[in-house]
Structure 1
Amino acid sequence: MNVRQNMISLSILALLTVSFAQPSFAATTPFTDLAQSGAKDKILSLQQQGVIKGVDDSKFAPNETITAAQGIQLIVNAFDLSLAAIRFIKAPQATDFFSKADNNAWYAESLIIAGANGLELPADLDPNADWTKEQFIHQLMRVMETKGNLPMIKLVPMEIQDDQELTVDYQGSIQRALARDVIELDKEKKLHPQKPITREEAAEMIYNALAYLKNHKPLN
């Protein structure tokens, strides 16, 4: 296949990616397993917008943890990341960005989009490993701030009782997430950063991040 054919194939791939990434507003059946969830309204709102999906048509499984691949897919979908504005010499594969990825796995497209859009993910990322709260928060904030072209903010660091558990490289992202009301600490002012993040927690953070962007105009 020559370069021209490659470019045509990639243009088609980009169009398909955009169509899959855009929210669907078709009628949906509300998840039935959110009665005990404090984030029920936010999760249902994201469901109606087509931003998130359940484990099946009626179940969201709010207490299940998510893997790195699932977290990346959530962020890619929530912020409409795609390959539309990116050109390649050859068709990209997930392993071009992440050595441990499977090019035939369900997550391959999301990892390609994430890698091509410059998400700060390690090259040796394990797509099947559980993601911690701090890992998800860090990536969410990076994409949110880039997508929204948000200004730098002067922070008065909030006290976090378990800050000794934080990874140093994630501290800034977490403080900004607190300042922008994307996350909140528990009653004991703890974050539990090393705890695997649940689907409910991830969905609520995404809702809060999108709400923040909606209410704050990007810089020109």
Structure 2
Amino acid sequence: MNTFIKKLSIYFTAVILSLVLFNETTNAKAPDFNGGVLNEYTYEEVFFLSGAPVKFSGKATITEKENKNLITTTYKFNLSNALGDKLTRSIVYVSTLEAFEDKGQTTSNTSVKSFSEKVTIGTDTYTLDDFQFSQASVIDNRPATDYYSGNIVGRKIYLKTSKGTGSSTNKETITVFINGRDVGYKNFWGATETQVMDYEINTRLGNAFITSKVSDSKSKILQYETHPPSLSSFVGGHTVINSSNMISEYTYDIPYAKIASNKNGTINLNQEKVPTIERLIVPKFRDLSNHWAKDDIEKLYSLGIFDESSSFFSPNTPMKRYQFTIGVLRAVDLRVLEQPKNKKPPTKAIFSDLDPKDPDYIYIESAVEKGIINGVNPSKFAPNQPITRAQAVAILVRALGLEGRAPSPGFKTNFADDNKIPTYAKESVYVATELGLINGDEKNRFNPNQSLTRAQSAAMIARFLNFLENDLKQNYRDDMLFFD
């Protein structure tokens, strides 16, 4: 079976710049399972075993090693607070991955390999004596975005040692039951993971209940910057801002707390990394003045999604199937097929009307391999044929892997010309409407067989990018944290 990697065969300056800026892999991951947050400098979390919320901050070190299907992750924490309390923790997790390539999914099962934890609060010391932990996750690898979900269970047993008067020492066993889940996504434009954990703390004084919600999010945001001088060859251009921040919320119920304000409440933490900024190339099309799609076209050109060498974009001419498919794949940085080093490039294309020597041919082969697009028949792709609205929407939704979210067969869209939507595209049209990627005309018609102009294609791909940049983040962060 072919191996997919991030390798783009691109020869135009715009695309090369885009590749340099965005080739990094974007991951989002909460640091361990304690509700803590961190940035480049500081880690913070709240500890509750003492019968009151105690905030710690300090240094956290996270390392990850991968060997075949095993991932070993090590967390080390060295924390303290202004009162002189201290927390040290070292946990090593091992995750076993199993890829189901025929189904496009991967499962992960995680357990604890080793652990040590010691917390000193005043005259009390809490030492982790036993840690049982299990996490199971499934990752659905879709062309534009990977989606994942996991369940977490565990049990921690602490030995509490308290110094009494004189040389006396009191000892107690505290058991913490852990139950939680995490959900997330990862794509070329960003990643978000949200973790919700419930803890039940059993002590000799009674039981306490803690819930932590933590979300890590990384994103690339496009921002237009004006160029003020009047004597210049350009008036402005786009900037990419790479941002990352982590937010956390603890809610606690400690009936046996000695101080009333410690019995229940909410604590919020927030850490944000310093953003990085990259400037993109400046488009100079001469036929876009006051055009309604000017902003979308220039943004996509700056990103290398369009690679026109001409100073004319021709916004009102039809968009070809070949060009649209390549543009979408570039927009999501889709991993393309790579030939083994000892194997020559293909001499025969998968469709008779394509040229395997074309530098962009590999995009089409990858799109077909991943089920994003089909030929007009088994032997023809019709690369120069104008793409229709139905075909374009099907490509976008298949790239997201969301076409299966439509209702069971027999459903109808709300468009007046629902009966004209081709069967192959009906699910995609329904989902795209729900996601806000498309709208009908003034008579509520979708016009599925109408050809897209290059300007309309740019607007559609721009909305698609906005979904990847913003809508997924809201669904995996705000909806989980505030409406869970």
TM-score category of the 2 structures, normalised to the smaller one = 0.7 to 0.9
CA distance in 2, matches of 1:203, 1:130: 14
Q: Which of these residues, 399, 405, 416, is aligned with residue 161 of structure 1?
A: 416
Which of 38, 41, 44 lines up with 2:295 in the alignment? 41
What is the distance in 2 between the residues matched to 1:95 and 1:66? 26
Mapping 1:19-98, distance limit 5 Å: 23=18, 26-54=280-308, 56=310, 58-83=311-336, 90-91=343-344, 93=346, 95-98=348-351
Deviations 1:17-40 (A, max 9, x none): 389577265422332322353222
Out of 184, 200, 203, the residue aligned to residue 458 of structure 2 is 203
Match for 2:9 among 9, 17, 35? 17
CA deviation digits over 1:143-168, x for unaligned, max 9?
A: 1x13xx79936699542122232101
Q: How many Å apart are 1:65 and its aligned residue? A: 0.6
Aligned length: 205
Equivalent residue number for residue 126 of structure 1: 382
Which residue does 2:395 correspond to in 1? 139
Query: Any idea what SS the aligned residue of 2:319 has?
Result: coil
DSSP 3-state at the match of 1:27: coil
Compared CA separation, residues 98 and 29, structure 1 to 2 (3 A): same
Tell me the distance in 1 between the aligned counterparts of 2:307 and 2:280. 13
Opposite residue 23 of structure 1, the aligned amino acid is S
CA distance in 1, matches of 2:433, 2:344: 39
Deviation at 1:194, TM superposition (A): 0.9
TM-aligned CA deviation for residue 179 of structure 1? 1.2
- Identical positions, percent: 23
Which structure is higher in strand share?
A: 2
8 Å CA contact retained: 2:285, 2:312: yes
**Change in 2 beyond 3 A, CA 1:208/1:75:** same
Gapped regions of structure 2 (runs ≥ 5):
20-278, 477-484
8 Å Cα contact 1:53-1:60 kept in structure 2: no
Q: Give the structure 2 partner of residue 185 of structure 1.
A: 440
| C-alpha separation in 1, matches of 2:371 and 2:425 | 17
Distance 1:154 1:22 in 2: 41
Instruction: Judge conservation of contact 1:63–1:199 (CA < 8 Å) in 2.
Output: yes
The 1:95/1:117 distance shift into structure 2, 3 A limit, reads: farther
The separation in 1 between residues aligned to 2:347 and 2:383, in whole angstroms, is 11
Q: Which moved more, 1:97-106 or 1:14-23?
A: 14-23
Moved more, 42-51 or 202-211: 42-51
In the alignment, is the contact (CA less than 8 A) between 2:403 and 2:428 conserved in 1? no
Indicate the RMSD between aligned Cα atoms, in angstroms. Answer: 3.5
Task: Give secondary structure in 1 for the equivalent of 2:324.
Answer: helix
* Larger relative helix fraction: 1
How far did residue 62 of structure 1 move?
0.9
TM-score (norm 1): 0.75
Aligned position for 1:3? none
CA distance in 1, matches of 2:439, 2:347: 33
SS at match of 2:405: coil
For residue 46 of structure 1, report the CA deviation from its aligned partner: 1.9
Q: Which one has more relative contact order, counting CA pairs under 8 Å at least 6 apart? A: 1
What are the ranges of 5 or more consecutive residues in structure 1 without an aligned counterpart? 1-6
SS of the residue corresponding to residue 184 of structure 1 reads: coil
1:109 paired to 2:362: yes
Alignment check: 8 A CA contact 1:130 1:196 kept: yes
SS at structure 2 position matched to 1:17: coil
